[in-house]
Chain A
Amino acid sequence: MTRLHIDWTACDGRGLCTELLEEMLVEDEWGYPVSRDGTTEPVVPPPLEDAAKRAVDRCPMLALKLVRR
Chain B
Amino acid sequence: MNSVLAAQTLLTAGDGGLDDHLSRYGRLPSLDGSQIVGLARDAELTGRGGGGFPMWRKLAAVAAAGTPAVVIANGAEGEPVSGKDRLLLTRKPHLVLDGLHLVALATGARAAHLYAPAALLPRLRESLAARGRAGLDKLPVTLTAAPDAFVSGEESAVASAIAGRGAVPADKRVRLVETGTLVQNVETLAHLALIARYGAGWFLSSGTFLATVSGAVARPSVVEARYGVPLGDLIGAAGGATENLRAVLVGGYHGGWVPADPALPVTREALAPFGAAPGAGVVVALPAHACGLVETAKITQYLAGQVAGQCGPCVNGLPRIAGTLADLAAGRPRPGLPGEAARLAALVTGRGACRHPDGTARLVLSAMRAFEADVAAHLNGRCLATGGRL
Interface presence of B137 (CB below 8 A): no
Query: Which chain A residues border B353 with CB–CB below 8 Å?
Result: 7-9
Interface presence of B316 (CB below 8 A): yes
B311 touches A9 (CB 8 A): yes
Chain B 158-191 near chain A by CB (<8 Å), digits 1 or 0: 0000000000011101000000000000000000
Chain-B contact segment, one of A16-24, A28-36, A43-51? A28-36
CA distance A28 to B320 in the complex (A): 13
Q: A8-B352, A40-B351 known; A30 and B313 CB under 8 Å?
A: yes
A5 touches B173 (CB 8 A): yes
For window 312-357 of B, CB contacts with A under 8 Å fall at: 312-314, 316-317, 346-347, 350-353
Q: How large is the interface on A (under 10, 10 to 19, 20 to 34, 35 or more residues)?
A: 20 to 34
Determine which of A8, A10, A34, A65 lies in contact with B347 in the assembled complex, contact meaning CB atoms within 8 Å.
Answer: A34
Interface presence of A12 (CB below 8 A): yes
Interface presence of B310 (CB below 8 A): yes
Total B residues in contact with A, Cβ cutoff 8 Å: 17
Q: How far is the CB of A7 from chain B (nearest CB, A)?
A: 4
Query: Which chain B residues border A28 with CB–CB below 8 Å?
Result: 313, 347
With CB as the reference atom, state the residue of chain A lying closest to B357.
A8
Interface residue ranges, A against B (CB under 8 Å): 5-13, 28-32, 34, 38-40, 65, 67
* Given A8-B353, A32-B312, A40-B350; 19 other pairs, CB 8 A cutoff: A7-B171, A7-B353, A8-B171, A8-B310, A8-B352, A9-B353, A10-B171, A11-B311, A11-B312, A12-B312, A13-B312, A28-B313, A28-B347, A29-B316, A30-B316, A32-B316, A34-B347, A34-B351, A67-B173
